[in-house]
């Protein structure tokens, strides 16, 4: 592939794909590696389990908020220094988690760990800095393909570390990986964007340029709603597995990863074919596949033939569709205003994460032993259908304008 931008004069060469995968993967791993340790952490801090569960919700909330501000800061100061500062602060926050004397202090440092969002936001922005729209979609697909492995392996690794070494081993591993990411970024991540030369206030004033763009909203809603179906699954599938199908935690853990398998394959398809078929077509196909899998599962459930195999098996299509839609829709959103790629990446990520958190909570609230899995599947289908509508509006507008 041919880069469309040369390295910034006087800087190291642009980052390799391995560095970008590590930066994105570390952010995803930080989110879920310690989940199996929550009961032991509750006992260690002598607190209530619901309080410790806030370590997930607060992390997601702060992560979403940081993504809004990281982009403009990086457009002003450059990608490289923001990522290095982000990793450095992440290392300090991780040490704080390890040595926290009580649950409240732990939660404070846990929120601080969310600064690692800089790695996810700016790895995507760096790709857009170096490649044009279709090539960027291909490369983002490869970057996020590495992330697809983390949700499958992270909790399993965390559970084993907790069993043999205690819950703090999870955070020691994050500290080790964070140190490796800092060293690799320092050595390999050359600057990929020219500094804007604007003040931070002026940089934030660029937001209306994105917020008033129909194309940005179309791509962001396509990726946000497509991933929203998956976030709804995250919020409701554990209940469905245990309460509806009576699965043990170990069995549920195996079935639960089915979307991640599809996501890995979808990212591979994006990496291979985005340049050939273009961003819009890949997003449309991905959104249709997402809706197709949910529709099949819903029809089987309505026919009274739903099983754990059918419910979780069809979720592979949700992962496959997301793996095709998200990298391409992200590349499209970042290409609306290329000079604001960092800002667009942060805002796009915040829309995805914020909407996903809301859908996840809604899915959990809708379910009960009496309703079964149907409310979750209906919520996922409505969300997936809205994603299809979003990308169709983008395509229709571009055809009308002759773009």
Residue at 195 is within a domain: no
**Higher pLDDT among residues 289 and 21, named by residue:** 289
Average model confidence (pLDDT) across the chain:
81
| Residue 345: pLDDT over 70 | yes
**pLDDT tens sequence across 139-183:** 766 676 666 566 566 777 777 888 788 889 999 999 999 999 899
The distance of Cα 70 from the centroid of its chain, to the nearest Å, equals 15
Nearest to 270 by CA among 395, 182, 382, 140: 140
Residue at 3 is within a domain: no
In the chain the first and final C-alpha atoms are separated, in Å, by: 24
Domain count within the chain: 1
Task: State residue 1's pLDDT score.
Answer: 41
Residue at 39 is within a domain: yes
Residue at 214 is within a domain: yes
Residue at 61 is within a domain: yes
- Band of residue 2 on the pLDDT scale cut at 50, 70, 90: very low
Q: Using an 8 Å Cβ cutoff, are 334 and 345 in contact?
A: yes
**pLDDT tens sequence across 70-117:** 877 877 777 888 889 999 999 999 999 999 999 999 999 999 999 988
- Band of residue 3 on the pLDDT scale cut at 50, 70, 90: very low
**pLDDT tens sequence across 22-57:** 888 888 788 777 777 777 888 888 888 667 767 777
Residue at 4 is within a domain: no
Residue at 10 is within a domain: no
SS3 content of the chain, % helix, strand, coil (to 5): 85, 0, 15
- Give residue 40's domain range: 17-189+200-401
- We report the CATH number of the domain holding residue 26 as 1.20.1250.20
Question: Residue 13 contacts by C-beta under 8 Å, 6 or more apart in sequence?
Answer: 7, 188, 190
Residue at 56 is within a domain: yes
CA distance 279 to 324: 9
Question: Residue 395 contacts by C-beta under 8 Å, 6 or more apart in sequence?
Answer: 280, 284
């Amino acid at each position: 592939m041919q880069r469309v931008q040369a390295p910034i004069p006087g800087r190291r060469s642009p980052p390799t794909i391995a560095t970008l995968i590590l930066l994105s993967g570390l952010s995803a791993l930080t989110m879920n590696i310690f989940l199996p340790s929550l009961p032991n952490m509750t006992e260690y801090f002598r607190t209530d389990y619901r309080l410790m569960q806030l370590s997930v919700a607060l992390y997601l909330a702060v992560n979403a908020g940081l993504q809004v501000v990281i982009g403009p800061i990086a457009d002003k100061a450059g990608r490289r220094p923001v990522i290095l500062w982000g990793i450095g602060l992440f290392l300090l926050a991780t040490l704080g988690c390890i040595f926290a004397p009580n649950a409240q202090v732990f939660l404070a440092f846990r929120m601080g760990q969310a600064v690692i969002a800089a790695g996810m936001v700016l790895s995507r922005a760096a790709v857009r800095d170096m490649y044009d729209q279709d090539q960027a979609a291909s490369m983002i697909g490869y970057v996020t393909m590495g992330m697809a492995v983390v949700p499958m392996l992270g909790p399993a690794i965390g559970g084993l570390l907790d069993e043999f070494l205690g819950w703090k081993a999870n955070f020691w591993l994050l500290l080790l990986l964070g140190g490796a990411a800092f060293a690799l970024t320092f050595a390999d991540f050359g600057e990929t964007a020219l500094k804007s030369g604007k003040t931070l206030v002026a940089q934030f004033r660029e937001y209306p340029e994105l917020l008033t763009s129909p194309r940005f909203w179309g791509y962001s809603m396509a990726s946000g709603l497509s991933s929203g179906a998956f976030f709804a699954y995250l919020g409701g599938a554990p209940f469905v597995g245990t309460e509806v199908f009576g699965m043990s935690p170990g069995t549920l853990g195996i079935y639960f990863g089915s979307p991640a398998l599809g996501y890995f394959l979808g990212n591979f398809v994006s990496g291979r074919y985005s340049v050939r078929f273009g961003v819009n077509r890949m997003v449309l196909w991905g959104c249709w596949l997402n809706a197709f899998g949910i529709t099949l599962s819903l029809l089987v459930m309505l026919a009274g033939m739903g099983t754990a195999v059918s419910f979780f098996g069809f979720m592979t299509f949700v992962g496959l569709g997301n793996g095709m839609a998200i990298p391409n829709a992200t590349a499209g959103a970042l290409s609306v205003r290329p000079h604001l790629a960092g800002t667009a990446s942060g805002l796009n990520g915040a829309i995805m994460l914020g909407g996903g958190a809301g859908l996840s909570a809604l899915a959990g609230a809708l379910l009960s032993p009496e309703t079964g899995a149907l409310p979750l599947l209906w919520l996922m289908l409505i969300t997936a259908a809205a994603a299809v509508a979003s990308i169709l509006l983008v395509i229709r507008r571009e055809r009308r304008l002759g773009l």
